[in-house]
């Protein structure tokens, strides 16, 4: 399917860009909770290797011959990224990190990598198992996205461009409800594919309407770079799960 190929392009290109940006700027605004990797023995080297592996995985997933290997590499990378968020959860001083918001953000990327692996799996039964795992995992992540916006509703509203009618708070509430409905549909597997495709569209619009303008207005802010790229990474991951033949 052409849509599946486009999903791979978004996921792969975003993975490459995030790796490049992270390797360019070793600071907390770019790496966010992944900075905890630096505290490990040889943490800076480990972090650099993970980012390089992410770039390689992003390139490899675009080619049929290397897609399966790329899926394995990205699964390992995004599992590592997810686990790296636990120190931040334990020591969290803000609501978002206290309930594991950063963990689920990176876990959604792991779901996208699992979906890629499922798409390259020749055995139909195993493909269904991995596809189901990716779907359920993404559904749990959608719950986290719902809570993240609900708990930080004013901050979410502030990100909505003021020129979009009727007002910022209305769109913050509507998108929060949209995440909640999507989470329910995905988890009970009722119109799950439609829910994931609409969620993909919503996430893509977040990137286009919110983070790209922020990036253009303040390109010197490394946080804008990482948030923009991560938004499109989650968009690509959701797209990957949505385009699975069976889950």
DSSP string for residues in 100-160: THHHHHHHHHHHHHHHHHHHH-SSHHHHHHHHHHHHHHHHHHHHHHHHHHHHTHHHHHHHS
Average pLDDT over residues 161-171: 95
Q: Other C-beta atoms within 10 Å of 131: how many? A: 21
User: What is the domain extent for residue 232?
Assistant: 2-242
Q: Is 78 contained in some domain?
A: yes
Q: Other C-beta atoms within 10 Å of 86: how many? A: 14
CA distance 244 to 240: 7
Q: Is 247 contained in some domain?
A: no
Report pLDDT digits (tens) over 108-118.
999 999 999 99
Residue 51: partners with Cβ closer than 8 Å, 6 or more residues away: 18, 19, 22, 23
Report pLDDT digits (tens) over 3-17.
678 999 999 999 999
Number of domains in the chain: 1
Residue 185 has pLDDT above 90, yes or no: yes
Average pLDDT, the chain: 93
The pLDDT value recorded for residue 247 is 85
Q: Is 135 contained in some domain?
A: yes
Q: How far is CA 155 from the centre of its chain?
A: 20
Residue 86's pLDDT band (boundaries 50, 70, 90)? confident
């Amino acid at each position: 399917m052409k849509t599946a190929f486009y999903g791979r392009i978004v996921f792969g290109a975003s993975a490459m860009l995030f790796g490049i940006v992270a390797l360019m700027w070793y600071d907390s605004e770019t790496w966010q909770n992944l900075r905890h990797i630096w505290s490990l023995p040889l943490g800076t080297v480990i972090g650099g290797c993970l980012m390089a592996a992410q770039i390689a995985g992003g390139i490899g997933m675009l080619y049929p011959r290397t897609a399966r290997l790329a899926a394995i590499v990205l699964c390992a990378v995004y599992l590592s990224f997810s686990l790296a968020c636990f120190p931040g959860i334990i020591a969290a001083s803000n609501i978002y990190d206290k309930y594991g918001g950063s963990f689920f953000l990176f876990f959604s990327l792991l779901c996208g990598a699992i979906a890629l692996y499922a798409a390259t799996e020749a055995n139909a039964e195993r493909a269904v198992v991995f596809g189901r795992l990716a779907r359920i995992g993404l559904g749990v992540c959608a719950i986290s996205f719902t809570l993240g916006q609900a708990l930080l509703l004013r901050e979410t509203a502030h990100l909505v461009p003021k020129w979009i009618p009727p007002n910022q708070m209305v769109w913050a509430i509507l998108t929060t409800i949209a995440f909640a409905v999507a989470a329910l549909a995905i988890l009970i597997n009722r119109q799950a594919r439609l829910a994931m495709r609409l969620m993909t569209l919503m996430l893509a619009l977040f990137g286009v309407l919110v983070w790209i303008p922020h990036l253009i207005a303040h390109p010197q802010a490394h946080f804008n770079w990482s948030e923009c790229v991560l938004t499109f990474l989650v968009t690509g991951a959701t797209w990957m799960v949505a385009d699975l033949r069976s889950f």
